[in-house]
Amino acid sequence: MPFLDIVDLSAGYGGAPILNGVNLSVGKGEVISLIGPSGSGKSTLLRVLIGLTAPSSGQVSIDGTPVDYASKASVRALRRRMSIVFQQFNLFQNMTALANICLAPVKTLGVAPAAAEARGRELLASVGLADKADSYPDQLSGGQQQRVAIARALAMQPEILLLDEITSALDPERVGEVLDTVRALAATGISMLLVSHEMSFVREISTRVVMMDAGRVVESGPPAQIFTAPQEARTKAFIGAIIRH
Amino acid sequence: MIDRLMAEAPAFFTRDTAAFLGLALSRTLLMTVIGCGAGFVLGMVLAVVRRSRAGWLAPARVLAAAYVELFRRIPFLVILILVLFSVQAFAPDLSLLGIAAIAVTLAATAYLSEIVRAGLESVPRAQVEGADVLGLSAAQSFWLVILPQSWRVILPPAAAFMVMFIKDTALASHLGVVELAFSGKILVNRGFSPLYGFGAVLILYFLLSWPLGRMAAWLETRLAVSRHR
Amino acid sequence: MLLWLALIAVPLHARSLDTIRATGVLRVGVNPNFPPMSSFAADGTLKGFDVDVARRLADRLGVRLQLVPTEAASRVPFLVSGRIDLALGALTITPEREALIDFTVPLHSEAMGVITTARLPVTRWQELDRADITLVNMRGNQSVSVLREKLPKPQRLLVDGNADTIRAIAQGRADALVENVDFFVGFTKNYPDIAWRVLPDPIFVAWCGIGIAQGNDALRAATDAALRQLHGDGSIAALWRKHYGAAMTVPVSAAQLASVAKASRPTGYRFDWSGVWPELPYLAAGAVISLQIAVIAFVAGAAIGLGCALARLRGGTLLRRVCGAYVSFFTNTPALVQIFVLYYALPDIGVKLPAFAAVVIGLTLNAGAYLAEILRGGIVAVRTVELEAAEVLGLGRRDKLVHVMLPSIIRTVYRPLSSFFIVLVLGSSMGALFGVEELTGRAINISTANLRTIETFAVTGLIYIVLTLVASGLLAGAGRWLFRVRAA
């Protein structure tokens, strides 16, 4: 049984739905990359999954339990197993890096502050920022902020992590450090669903690549197949356009 | 003119006059501080109500919006008079100072609510989403994330508003509150030259308002630099 | 607004004689600004005829006296609500007031006469009925309506305090005061250089009692008894002489003191809007005057503000300093006190401004200072990138100003300017405190006559809301059409 199961998921209103019946399964430990032209619904899919945008129809279940996005309790339970990292980091500007990481475990999981802090420092060390615990976000570079954001998401001990274009807002020379962090993370066996424009990285890290267009899954398969021998015309066009660049 | 001032000087520059003006000054300050303090808390409540999304709060949202919109369109003098006479039915023993403080509160609530609202809205939506996906409740995300970040935007105009309202409380003299403006008029009615009576009062207002105004401006430049403290 | 509605349901709080005895405190309303009846002495306590009478009444009732400073227009509402137990302050016994409160036997008489100066060559009060004369009156006093009948022709100046009436004559704003001579003559001592005159024959005599809430019969009986005693042993006559320096012109007669009051019942406060609706046209005309004040102050203030803003940005050191001081002074002191100075102090150096002019000039100077700050902000905010772009495009000085700078400034300052105009509309209500009959002044006039303050001012507040909503709407529309300023 897949860990995360998405069936016929749609979102958006009226004539121009953003998601138009998405079907996708994510197994335990799988790293799945969503690719496709802008406006194809990749980021919206992640937002719907984490409960920031309401779905209009369809079914999402996690570990066999259906998620009711209209129920606060159900969404809260979901967010203990699934976490997200944003393009713009969304770190709390009024807190230090460490405080950003410890906030949710203490406030929502009921972890003792001392234990949360110890774990927070571990996480910071694991993303290579042990010395930045007391820095505020505006004292960190974009890449450092994004690594703190990843550590913050991991502090909730999620079973699946969503990564939404996490390198798009970074200076080019900062992209590498964040990708290194994700690479290390993939090796730990956590499930990941990521949207990225770093195609070589996608090719390297993914267990499966999913091509989306117009709010639907067009094609999915191992990276080698999607990048070298795509089946669908739209995938061919998209891959072709990328490679020409 | 000079002769008159010289002649009145010994009677004017006395401990009694100083005590009288000091007491009036303290009333002016008290009205402003109580009224704007309470107005700030109530204004924040209204701002939070207006931000809420829950369906059952819809009538409260409309009322809060109407209150803020309407009370900024009624002269403070009219609010003072209405409070003076309305309060009689509830608390006939309330002092005139208390009545003036209520009037200041009613007006300040409306203005400060807009200031708080602008501050809360200055916090990017992404911050709310960040709190949301970590499973923080609406209250937690308000107290721990949104409010701490909005002080920077709220405090300077709120301080400037309070400094401005020090001067508006002069209208409470119409109620008979012996605050600074009224004390000047009483001194003049007692026969002192207007130059003394009003001059002293103008100087005291200036000494109260100018440094506080500078402090509000300083607060603005200081808070504008850093986003996190 | 909810507060006002709740009034209907709330019972009134007039305290009975038993309650007063039980608490040991008698609360008496006296005018804080009405020497020699009652006024604040140099030591900050209230002193005067009324104060002494009140103290003796409290002694007779065996309780402690608490004085409550009460303006003329507040006396009846405060009695009805029970905020005060007794109202002094020369409360004339009239049918209108008797509909709302009860009176004791008379405390003193009110012989209406004329106070004027040697400037006005009249010998009898009937000679005052001329259109070229201005009579000063105090709002809330009974004499206002009496005069409308007896002396219809003269112009009128309404002021708020007793001291202000005599000041108005001393400063030449008015020619004569028709009032109870005894009460006002005391203030003439503040202006020893003026040749004051009191015309000999009184116009008529009225009687002042002590006001008590309706239905408070036991308190009224006790107060009546105390007054009879104080009249009988000559205490009141002695106090009158002590404070007025002369005997009461017409003393209270034995027959008046002997009269026994009928029992009364409290009527309670019920909303009655019938006295307000007929006044709507009068109030609406007042709103036009409010708007006039705001427009004049805004336009003139904007001119001053623009000059000041440019001077502070481009002017020499001295000019910058002067304008800076002007802005600091006017933004750090209350507009109300600024107008006090214009209205009450300038006449001492020979500049006699009518109330309307004093208020408009005060608000203009105030507006000039605030608008200078707003405009300076707008000029400073012109973005250098836009200026550089204009430079690169080779635009001349004039084109740069007209096509780049002005549109940018207008877009920045338009909304703050619109808000400030609304502030001025609301601020024009200050005129009421100087007798300008704009919207608030007219509301005060109406409510002192109909005693329906809450109803009158609720309607007045609504008129302000409508007025400013329309003004805001028109300004926002004009901004969009003319300058493409986005709405809030």
From C137, C173, C166, C162, select the one nearest C343 (Cα to Cα): C173
CATH of C111-204, one of 3.40.50.720, 3.30.70.260, 3.40.190.10, 3.30.360.10: 3.40.190.10
C-alpha of A53 from chain center: 15
Angle at A40 between CA A38 and CA A43, to 5 degrees: 80
CB neighbour burial string for C90-104, b if at least 16 within 10 angstroms, e if fewer: bbbbeeebeebbbbb
Element (H, E) at B58: helix B58-71
Inter-chain residue contact B79 with C348, CB threshold 8 Å = no
**pLDDT per residue as tens digits for the range A91-141:** 998 999 999 999 999 988 889 999 999 999 999 999 999 999 999 999 999
User: What Cα–Cα distance (Å) separates residue B12 from each residue in B196, C45, C312?
Assistant: 8, 17, 38
Q: What is the mean pLDDT of residues B36-58?
A: 93
Inter-chain residue contact C341 with B190, CB threshold 8 Å = no
Provide the pLDDT for residue C151: 86
Size of interface A-B (CB pairs under 8 A): 62
Percent of chain B's residues with pLDDT above 70: 97
From C205, C186, C201, select the one nearest C250 (Cα to Cα): C205
Tell me which residue in B23, B76, B184 faces C337 most closely, judged by beta carbons: B184
Q: What is the pLDDT along chain C (488 residues), one digit of tens a residue?
A: 444 444 444 445 678 899 999 999 999 999 987 878 998 887 778 999 999 999 999 999 999 999 988 887 788 888 887 889 999 998 989 887 887 889 999 999 988 888 999 998 888 888 888 989 999 988 766 666 677 778 888 988 888 777 888 999 999 899 999 888 877 877 887 888 889 988 878 888 889 999 999 888 999 999 999 999 999 999 999 999 898 877 787 888 888 888 887 787 766 567 788 889 999 999 999 999 999 999 999 999 999 999 999 998 888 899 999 999 999 999 999 999 999 999 988 887 888 888 999 999 999 999 999 999 999 998 888 777 777 777 777 777 777 777 778 888 888 899 999 999 999 999 999 999 998 999 999 999 888 777 788 899 999 999 999 999 999 999 999 988 887 776 55
Element (H, E) at B115: helix B96-122
More confident residue, C304 or A175: C304
Provide the pLDDT for residue C161: 75
Provide the pLDDT for residue C297: 97
- Rounded Cα–Cα distance for residues B183 and B189 (Å): 10
Least CA distance to B189: which residue of chain C?
C163
**pLDDT per residue as tens digits for the range C152-203:** 889 888 887 778 889 999 998 999 998 888 778 778 878 888 899 888 788 8
**Interface contact A104, partner B, CB < 8 A:** yes
Provide the pLDDT for residue A14: 63
- With residues binned 3-state (H G I as helix, E B as strand, rest as coil), the percentages for chain B, rounded to 5, are 85, 0, 15
Phi, psi of C65 (to 5 degrees): -95, 135
- Rounded Cα–Cα distance for residues A20 and A39 (Å): 12
Residue pair C311/C323 in contact (Cβ under 8 Å)? The answer is: yes
Residue pair B132/B192 in contact (Cβ under 8 Å)? The answer is: no
* Partners of residue C3 in chain B, C-beta under 8 Å: 86, 90
The SS3 call for residue A160 is strand
Residue pair A205/A211 in contact (Cβ under 8 Å)? The answer is: no
Inter-chain residue contact C7 with B86, CB threshold 8 Å = yes
Domains annotated for chain A, with CATH where assigned, are 1-81+161-245 (3.40.50.300), 91-157 (no CATH)
User: What Cα–Cα distance (Å) separates residue C318 from each residue in B206, C143, C370, C461?
Assistant: 22, 54, 20, 45
**pLDDT per residue as tens digits for the range B143-154:** 999 999 999 899
Provide the pLDDT for residue C3: 46
Inter-chain residue contact C457 with B85, CB threshold 8 Å = yes
Inter-chain residue contact B226 with A138, CB threshold 8 Å = yes
> Which DSSP string corresponds to B204-225?
HHHHHHHHHHHHHHHHHHHHHH
Residue pair B175/B99 in contact (Cβ under 8 Å)? The answer is: yes
Tell me which residue in B126, B140, B228 faces A94 most closely, judged by beta carbons: B228
- Rounded Cα–Cα distance for residues B119 and B138 (Å): 17
- Rounded Cα–Cα distance for residues A173 and A177 (Å): 8
Angle at C106 between CA C103 and CA C107, to 5 degrees: 110
User: What Cα–Cα distance (Å) separates residue A139 from each residue in A93, A98, A134, B147, B148?
Assistant: 10, 13, 10, 21, 18
Element (H, E) at B111: helix B96-122
Q: Which structure tokens are listed for A67?
A: 């998620």
A10-13 contacts: CB < 8 A, separation 24 or more?
A10/A55, A10/A56, A10/A57, A10/A58, A10/A215, A11/A44, A11/A48, A11/A53, A11/A54, A11/A55, A11/A56, A12/A44, A12/A56, A12/A215, A13/A56
DSSP state of A229: S
The position carrying tokens 């503000």 is C305
Provide the pLDDT for residue B169: 96
Chains contacting A (3+ CB pairs below 8 angstroms): B
Least CA distance to B129: which residue of chain A?
A52
- Rounded Cα–Cα distance for residues C205 and A50 (Å): 86
Answer whether A touches C (≥3 Cβ pairs < 8 Å): no
Mean pLDDT (chain A) is 91
- Rounded Cα–Cα distance for residues C137 and C164 (Å): 9
Residue pair C464/B75 in contact (Cβ under 8 Å)? The answer is: yes
Judge if C111-204 and C277-483 fold alike in CATH terms.
Answer: no
Tell me which residue in C333, C433, C465 faces B73 most closely, judged by beta carbons: C465
DSSP state of B173: G
**What ipTM goes with this model?**
0.92
* Helix ranges (DSSP H) in chain A: 42-50, 72-79, 97-104, 113-126, 142-155, 172-186, 199-205, 223-228, 233-244
Angle at C204 between CA C201 and CA C208, to 5 degrees: 125
User: What Cα–Cα distance (Å) separates residue C312 from each residue in C325, C369, C406?
Assistant: 11, 12, 18
Phi, psi of C485 (to 5 degrees): -85, 130
* Partners of residue B127 in chain A, C-beta under 8 Å: 90, 92-93
Q: Which structure tokens are listed for A180?
A: 């290194």
User: What Cα–Cα distance (Å) separates residue C27 from each residue in C48, C104, C344?
Assistant: 16, 16, 33
Topology of domain C8-108+206-258, per CATH? Answer: D-Maltodextrin-Binding Protein; domain 2 (3.40.190)
Neighbour tally for B3: CB within 10 Å: 7
Provide the pLDDT for residue C5: 44
Angle at C350 between CA C347 and CA C356, to 5 degrees: 50
Optimal mutation site among C25, C332, C450, C465, interface B, most CBs of chain B within 10 A: C332
- Rounded Cα–Cα distance for residues A59 and A54 (Å): 12
Q: Which structure tokens are listed for A106?
A: 């203490």
* Partners of residue B19 in chain C, C-beta under 8 Å: 44
Answer whether C touches B (≥3 Cβ pairs < 8 Å): yes
Element (H, E) at B181: helix B180-189
Q: Which structure tokens are listed for C182?
A: 């005894």
DSSP state of A106: I
Q: Which structure tokens are listed for C284?
A: 């609406």
**pLDDT per residue as tens digits for the range A188-239:** 889 999 999 888 889 989 999 999 998 999 999 999 999 998 999 999 999 8
What band does A245 get if pLDDT is binned at 50, 70 and 90?
low
Domains annotated for chain B, with CATH where assigned, are 2-6+15-225 (1.10.3720.10)
- Rounded Cα–Cα distance for residues C331 and B213 (Å): 10
- Rounded Cα–Cα distance for residues C8 and C126 (Å): 47
Residue pair A2/A49 in contact (Cβ under 8 Å)? The answer is: no
**Interface contact B133, partner A, CB < 8 A:** yes
* Partners of residue A46 in chain B, C-beta under 8 Å: none
- Rounded Cα–Cα distance for residues A63 and C200 (Å): 105
Element (H, E) at A6: strand A4-11
Superfamily of segment(s) C277-483: MetI-like (1.10.3720.10)
Residue pair B92/C83 in contact (Cβ under 8 Å)? The answer is: yes
Where do the domains of chain C lie?
8-108+206-258, 111-204, 277-483
